[in-house]
Chain A
C-alpha cells in the first residue's frame, strides 16, 4: 500500500506538471489582450471649421488598427459644437446597453433603438433606462484638426 500511495502521488504530480506546462502558456496567451496596457489611440475627426456653432454633426473616424480589416474600420461619432465654440465628441454607444444611438436633427435629441433611451443634445439622459450621460471622448485640437483618443473610453463604449 505504501508503494501504491507513493506511485499515486508521482502520477498526480507528473500529470499536474505536464498540464501546467501546456495549459499555462495557452491560457496566458489567450488572456493577453486583457492584460496589456492600453496606450492612447488618437484618430482624426476632421477640420474644426467643418463643425458649425450650436449644432451636432455626424462624423466618421478611421480606427488605426493592426488587423487592417475593412469592416469596422470606421466608427461614427457625434460632434457637438456649442454656441460658444466648445467641441464635445460623443460615442454612439448608448450608456444603457450599448446599442447605437441615432441623432434626430429635427428634435435635436438622440434616440436609442433598443430599449427607449433618449438623450438631449448635451448627452444628458432624458427618458428610458439609461442613467449615465453619453460617453465623451478625450479630445485634442492640432493645427485646426480635431482628434479623439479612442482608448479614452471603456472598451465596450
Chain B
C-alpha cells in the first residue's frame, strides 16, 4: 500500500525524470575546492531566509528605517543573530564569488561548451554586486547615505545620461524618501527575482554541460561535440566519475557547511555590521565603505589625476566587458594552467591587487581631519612658555589636521615635523607659515592667524623637529 502510494506520487509529481537526470546522473570527479558554486547557492539560501525574516520588521521609510534596523538588532529575540548572519553571509558571498570567478578562469570554465554557463554567471556576478551594495544602504545610517551618494556620483559621471540616471535612482532631485523606497524595491524584489531566475538557469546549464574536470585538461578537444563526449566518458568511468547524489552533494555540501560555520563564528565574534548614526546630510561624518569594497576605495584614491576622472566610469564597464568577451576571445583548446600563462598571470595580479589595496586602505591616512586636542608631548620633555603656546595653537590653527609630530598624534597627510626636508630659521619658518611657496598644499596663514600666533607656531616647530621619533 505504502509502496503503491510512493510510486503514485513519484509518477504524478514528476519525481522520476528529476531523479534520473539530476540525482542519479554521473558526473566527473572534482577536487574539494570545486564546492564553491554549491557554497554560493547555499549562502544564497541563508541570505533569502534571514532576509525574509527581517522584512517582517524592516520599514522602508526614511523616518522609520533606521529605528527598525535597531529594533531588529537590539530588541527582537535573536534579531542580532539573524541580521548578523545576513551581514556575514553577504560578505562571505563576495569572497566566494571572487573565488568562483577566478577559479573558473584558472580551470578554463568559460571554454566550449560552457560559454553560456559562464555568461549567465556574469549576469549573476553583476546582480550579486548590486545586492552587496544596496544591502547596506537599507540600514539608513551615515554609511548608507554617503555610500549611496558615492554611487550616485559615479552614475552622474556617465556621459549624456548621467543626470537622468541619478534622478531615476534617487527618484527626486534631492535625496530623500524615494531613494530608500527604490533601493528597497531593488534589493528585496527586483534583484532577488532576477537572481532566482538566473541561478536556476546557471544550475540547469551546469547539469547539462557538466563542470570542468581533470581529464579534459589532459585530452585536448577541438569542438564542443568532442568535448561533450570526453566529459561523458569521464563521468561514466568507474575511476574518474561519480554519482551526483550522494557523492558530489556530500563533498560540495561540506564546503557550504564550513563557510556557514565561519559566518556563525563571525556573528558571535563581531556581531552584525555596526551602525553609524542615522542617515543625515547635516552632521560631520567620517563614513567608510564595507570591507569588501576597501580595495576599490584604495584604488580610486591612488589613481593618478589624469586617469581618475574617467576611470570610475570606465573601470566597471571594462571589467564587465572583459568578463563577457573572455569566452568569445580565448577559444583555444588549451585548458591547463601551464599552457595559459597570460590568464594565470592576470588572476595572480587580481588577487595580489585586491589583497594589497585592501591593506593599503586600512593603513593609509588618506586625508586631513580636524584634531580637537593639542598633540601630546613625548614623555619627559617640557617646552618653554612660547613653544607650549605654539603647541596649543598647532591643534587650534588646524596644523595638526594634516601634520603629525614625530609620530605623537596628528594626521599624516602632510610631512611629519620631525622629518622636514630642510630646516629653517625662526624667521624662515614664520615666512613659510604666512605664505607657503606656490604649489605647496598648505593654507597661507597671512591674515588668518596673527603675527604673534605665527611666531609661537614657529617656536613649536623648532622644538618639535627635534622630538624623538616614535614607531
| A residues 81-107 in Cβ contact with B at 8 Å | 92-93, 96-100, 102, 104-107
B166 partner residues in chain A, CB cutoff 8 A = 154-156
B301 with A116: CB separation less than 8 A? yes
A150 with B173: CB separation less than 8 A? yes
A140 in the interface, Cβ–Cβ < 8 Å?
no
The total of chain B residues at the interface (CB under 8 A) is: 64
A99 with B287: CB separation less than 8 A? yes
Question: A71 with B367: in contact, given A41-B173, A104-B401 (CB under 8 Å)?
Answer: no
A113 with B367: CB separation less than 8 A? yes
Which stretch, A1-9, A11-19, A123-131, touches the partner chain B?
A123-131
B368 partner residues in chain A, CB cutoff 8 A = 104, 107, 109, 111, 116, 118, 127
Which stretch, B118-126, B145-153, B316-324, B326-334, touches the partner chain A?
B145-153
Which stretch, B26-34, B59-67, B348-356, touches the partner chain A?
B59-67
A→B interface (CB under 8 Å): 30-31, 33-36, 38, 41, 60, 63, 65, 67, 69-76, 92-93, 96-100, 102, 104-109, 111-118, 120-121, 126-129, 131, 150-151, 154-156
Question: A129 with B370: in contact, given A33-B167, A92-B281, A156-B166 (CB under 8 Å)?
Answer: no
A155 with B163: CB separation less than 8 A? yes
Cα distance A128–B168 in the bound complex, in angstroms? 30
Cα distance A71–B366 in the bound complex, in angstroms? 29
14 A-B contacts (beta carbon < 8 Å): A33-B167, A36-B167, A67-B177, A98-B149, A99-B146, A107-B397, A107-B398, A113-B366, A114-B301, A118-B367, A118-B368, A118-B413, A151-B173, A156-B153
A76 partner residues in chain B, CB cutoff 8 A = 281-283
| B residues 225-264 in Cβ contact with A at 8 Å | none
Cα distance A136–B308 in the bound complex, in angstroms? 22
B398 with A105: CB separation less than 8 A? yes
Question: A155 with B301: in contact, given A111-B401, A113-B285 (CB under 8 Å)?
Answer: no
Cα distance A108–B449 in the bound complex, in angstroms? 10
Question: Apart from A75-B174, A155-B174, what are 14 other A-B pairs with CB-CB below 8 Å?
Answer: A36-B167, A71-B66, A75-B282, A97-B154, A100-B287, A104-B369, A104-B401, A111-B367, A115-B301, A118-B441, A128-B367, A155-B156, A155-B166, A156-B163
Cα distance A35–B286 in the bound complex, in angstroms? 34
Cα distance A131–B306 in the bound complex, in angstroms? 10
A98 with B367: CB separation less than 8 A? no
Cα distance A112–B367 in the bound complex, in angstroms? 7
A65 with B174: CB separation less than 8 A? yes
Cα distance A111–B401 in the bound complex, in angstroms? 9
Interface string of B164-180 (1 = CB under 8 A from A): 11111011111111100
A71 with B287: CB separation less than 8 A? no
Shortest distance in angstroms between A152's beta carbon and chain B's nearest beta carbon? 10
Cα distance A126–B172 in the bound complex, in angstroms? 32
Name B140's closest neighbour in chain A (CB-CB): A71
B281 with A74: CB separation less than 8 A? yes
* 8 Å CB contact of B402 from A35, A75, A102, A107: A107
Interface string of B263-297 (1 = CB under 8 A from A): 00000000000000011111111110000000001
